[in-house]
């Protein structure tokens, strides 16, 4: 199940460029969802990366993103029985 999130045009452009970088690195298609997940996981090591992106989206907190990510992972685990 997917959902829509609002981001600034500049943020989307940055995310698309980041996804393209991942595609080159992995040699396969990388969608925006995977790019976001990669950033979230990397955030644990480098918090300034995610903060720079979240800062451009008003009225959303890091905690909300983490909670949404946790729920998505639970749904994925149930869906694929992992």
Sequence-separated (6 or more) residues with CB below 8 Å from residue 53: 11, 14, 15, 39
Residue 11 to residue 47: CA distance in whole angstroms: 17
Q: Quote the tokens at residue 50.
A: 């995610």
Give, rounded to a whole angstrom, the gap between the first and last alpha carbons of the chain.
17
Residues 41 and 33: beta-carbon distance below 8 Å: no
Does residue 13 come out as left (phi exceeding 0), alpha (psi in the -120 to 50 range) or beta? alpha
The one-digit pLDDT tens for each residue of the chain (82 residues) are 678 888 888 989 999 999 999 999 989 999 999 998 888 887 666 656 666 665 655 666 767 777 887 888 888 888 777 5
Instruction: Please give the pLDDT value at position 50.
Output: 61
Instruction: Please give the pLDDT value at position 28.
Output: 93
């Amino acid at each position: 199940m997917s959902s829509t999130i609002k981001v600034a045009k500049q943020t989307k452009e940055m995310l698309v460029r980041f996804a393209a970088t991942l595609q080159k690195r992995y040699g396969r298609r990388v969608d925006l969802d995977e790019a976001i997940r990669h950033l979230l996981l990397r955030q644990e090591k480098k918090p300034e990366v995610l903060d720079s992106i979240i800062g451009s989206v008003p009225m959303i907190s890091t905690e909300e993103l983490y909670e949404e990510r946790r729920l998505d992972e639970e749904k994925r685990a149930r869906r694929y029985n992992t």
